[in-house]
Amino acid sequence: MNARKLLETKSLCETICGLAKSEIPNNAMKILYFLDEYKDVPPSFLISKLGIAKSNLALIAQDMIKKRLIESYHTNIDRRTITYHITQKGRNELKDYLMQIEKIFKNADPSLEQNFDNILEYLNKKV
């Protein structure tokens, strides 16, 4: 894998995602995505996917809970374990954001989605 291409891809993806208008900060939007995609997840899952410190996740999550974008709760198995859950308000914010991005790609070649799927599959194995 060419590291230069990976860096360029990261930069261009961030630029395109930045074209979508939202009041929600970038890392918070990523959290909404992962909670919607993978359902209820523990902090350790989000930390590994986002590559952020536990303390940073706690601060972001606390703000998101105040804004009623996510909820946190203790699992029945171990009361010490916290799990995050996306709320309907969070899901609506994510949906609006994703619809803006999808408009950018509305005329893209259908093979592009398969290429993205292949890249995501590979990257998810590495993280």
Write out the residue range of the structural domain in which residue 67 sits. 3-126
CB-CB contact of 21 with 29 (8 Å): no
Which has the higher per-residue pLDDT, 74 or 62? 62
In angstroms, the CA 100 to CA 88 distance is 19
**If you count them, how many residues does the chain have?**
127
Count of domains observed in the chain: 1
pTM (predicted TM-score): 0.85
The structure tokens listed for 28 are 């918070």
**Residue corresponding to tokens 């952020």:** 52
What is the per-residue pLDDT for 83? 93
What is the per-residue pLDDT for 116? 86
The CATH number linked to 49 is 1.10.10.10
What is the per-residue pLDDT for 80? 76
